Structures are given as structure tokens and as C-alpha cells.
Amino acid sequence: MSRIGKAPVAIPSGVTVTVEPGVIKVKGPKGELEQKFDTAIGVTVEENEVLFTRSSDQPDHRAKHGLYRSLCAGMVEGVTNGYKKELELVGVGFRAQAAGQQLTLALGYSHPIIIELPKEIKVAAESAKGSNPKVTLESHDKQLLGTVAAKIRSLRKPEPYKGKGVRFTDEYIRRKAGKSAAK
């Protein structure tokens, strides 16, 4: 058995989990999420726990057993507490402005980049004098939040020589030595 898959997912108070054929729906104070799943994985809700079982020991079923359990646990965590990602813009002249669901970034290109964010994501941009601008993304959907954060980071990935670019605040950038002057 999968060690991850056989662990039950605890359902906190205020959260409801409903299982329909092929779909898990989780509803809580922060929002509502749903996830399709393979019918080879059995999902049951007992008391305050969600249990996952698999029909056979095929490699595909074994892989999905832990996967769907982890996805469900992430959904339950998201609708109760939510998720947060912070991005830092490192570079001269890099700026960020948030207005509603629009994020406007100045990343050293000839034009500003305007990103229309999904309604499930809350965005905040802050710029303090003497520090790098920061963009904070919050959502109850972990998958969507990670996708949007990765898309923003891909607009100007951190480069290894000066470290300029868009990075996650907890990210470590491996630096390289530049050219050394010849005598």
C-alpha cells in the first residue's frame, strides 16, 4: 500500500466533502473546489475523514492512489486556510502595480506587461523605498496559484550572474562568477 495513499484526510469543522462518481467536491469558508479522479481509486467519506483505496496493484493505480489523496488534502487545506505565494522583483527599474484583477509589471522590456488574473486569486503589490518590489498572490486553489506564480516568474527568470529577475521570496539563486579581467 502507498504510505501516502492509505493515510486518511481529516475534515475540519466547517468543511464538507462530497463524493460523486468520478468527482470529489470540497466546500469550506474560503471557497469551493472540485477534482476529477480515476474510478479505479475508491473514495469514501467516514465521520470526519476521507479514505482512499485502490482496486488493484497495477503501477498506474498505485501511483494515482497517493496522488488523489494528496490532491484532496491540498483542497481541504486550501478551503480552510488558503495558500499564499510571494514573488520578489530584483532589478533596477523593476516595478509592480496591482489594480483589481490586473497586475502591471515593468521588467526592463520596452513595454509594461499587463496580466489579467483569474477571479480566484487575490493580488497585492508593495514597493518600499530601499527594497525590491514584492507581489503577493493568495488563493484557495493550490494548483491555480502555482500555475499563475510560475507564469509570472517565467516573464523574467532570475539570471545567475547578477541575480536579476522575478523570483520567489524563499528561492535560492545559484550565482556564477563573471568574467575575470586578464592582465
CA distance 18 to 165: 43
Residue 183's pLDDT band, with cuts at 50, 70 and 90, is low
Q: What is the pLDDT of residues 97-112, one digit of tens each?
A: 999 999 999 999 999 9
pLDDT digits (tens, 9 = 90+) for 111-170: 999 999 999 999 999 998 889 999 999 999 999 999 999 999 999 999 999 989 999 999
Ordered by start, the domain boundaries in the chain are 9-80, 83-168
Asked whether this chain's domains 9-80 and 83-168 adopt the same fold, the reply is: yes
Find out if CATH 3.20.20.70 is the number for domain 83-168: no
Domain 9-80 in CATH 3.40.50.10890 = no
Whose grid coordinates read 484557495?
A: 140
Q: Sign (positive/negative) of CA torsion 35, 41, 43, 49?
A: negative
**Among 63, 62, 86, CA closest to 171:** 86
CA 161 → CA 45, 54, 56, 92, 100, distances in Å?
52, 49, 51, 15, 35
